[in-house]
Amino acid sequence: DAGVIQSPRHEVTEMGQEVTLRCKPISGHNSLFWYRQTMMRGLELLIYFNNNVPIDDSGMPEDRFSAKMPNASFSTLKIQPSEPRDSAVYFCASSLARTSYFGEGSWLTVV
Amino acid sequence: KQEVTQIPAALSVPEGENLVLNCSFTDSAIYNLQWFRQDPGKGLTSLLLIQSSQREQTSGRLNASLDKSSGRSTLYIAASQPGDSATYLCAVLNTDKLIFGTGTRLQVFP
């Protein structure tokens, strides 16, 4: 299996623009997680899905952030409008039997 | 609310030393604990996973122990090498959520 695949790997965008990050989990995994990593706050869980259903979105910072999982093989994390403080690395992870596997991350810079 | 803390935050040692990295967590009701390695600008690589019923796991020069009742885990690195330089993160699984520690930045110099 190719592992968890995230795109884009790097994105630089201007403040106010919409950003969409994508994730393809490992086939057969039933849970998917979105994390954000910053120097100040470390790795924070934003939201997670179980069997494509959002279970806990308490980590989503504000209404500008939204996440969807339309099917078992695809998820998106959207930021609209983006702000400079959203600059971070966004990781997607999928899990099966309580073992998590992480993607390589999406490096987002908002200028 | 689960909180995970790692000590020390940073460590710089000469090559060849044996190291101990510490991880503590506040809620002992965990399913497992995982140690990850992160190289600068890279993603997370899983090193070891210890189930809540286990006491330790070993992989090569790495040994991780778990004392669930006291809320502690240690990662032991034997005979450290410059290639071990990275940030090491521990994470505990509560229900379905993986909660990360603050990380230990390790530098091993020749």
Decide if A45 and B99 are in contact by the 8 Å CB cutoff.
Answer: yes
Cα(A37)–Cα(A89) distance, integer angstroms: 5
Output the pLDDT for position B94: 83
pLDDT level of residue A10 (50, 70, 90 thresholds) = very high
Output the pLDDT for position A97: 82
How many C-beta neighbours within 10 Å does residue B44 have?
A: 25
Residue-wise pLDDT tens digits, B31-52: 999 999 999 888 899 999 999 9
| Minimum CA–CA partner of A36 in chain B | B100
Output the pLDDT for position A1: 62
DSSP E strands in chain B: the ranges are: 4-7, 10-14, 19-25, 32-38, 44-51, 56-59, 62-67, 72-77, 86-94, 97-100, 104-109
Nearest alpha carbon to residue A22 among A69, A85, A82: A69
Report whether pLDDT(A22) > 70: yes
For chain B, which residues score pLDDT lower than 70?
Answer: none
CA distance A50 to chain B (A): 9
Q: Which residue type does A82 have?
A: S
Residue-wise pLDDT tens digits, A33-42: 999 999 888 8
Decide if B49 and A104 are in contact by the 8 Å CB cutoff.
Answer: no
Q: With residue A58 as reference, give the H or E element that holds it.
A: none
**Which one of A36, A89, A100 would you mutate to disrupt binding with B, by most B Cβ within 10 Å of its Cβ?**
A100
**A20 CB within 8 Å of a chain B CB:** no
Q: State the maximum Cα–Cα separation within chain B, in Å, rounded to a whole number.
A: 42
Report whether pLDDT(A15) > 90: yes
Residue-wise pLDDT tens digits, A64-100: 999 999 999 999 999 999 999 999 999 999 998 888 8
Beta carbons within 8 Å of A22's beta carbon, 6+ residues apart: A6, A7, A8, A74, A75, A76
| Minimum CA–CA partner of A102 in chain B | B44
Cis peptide before A81 (omega within 30 of 0): yes
Residue B83 three-state SS: helix
Q: Which two tokens stand for residue A12?
A: 């630089």
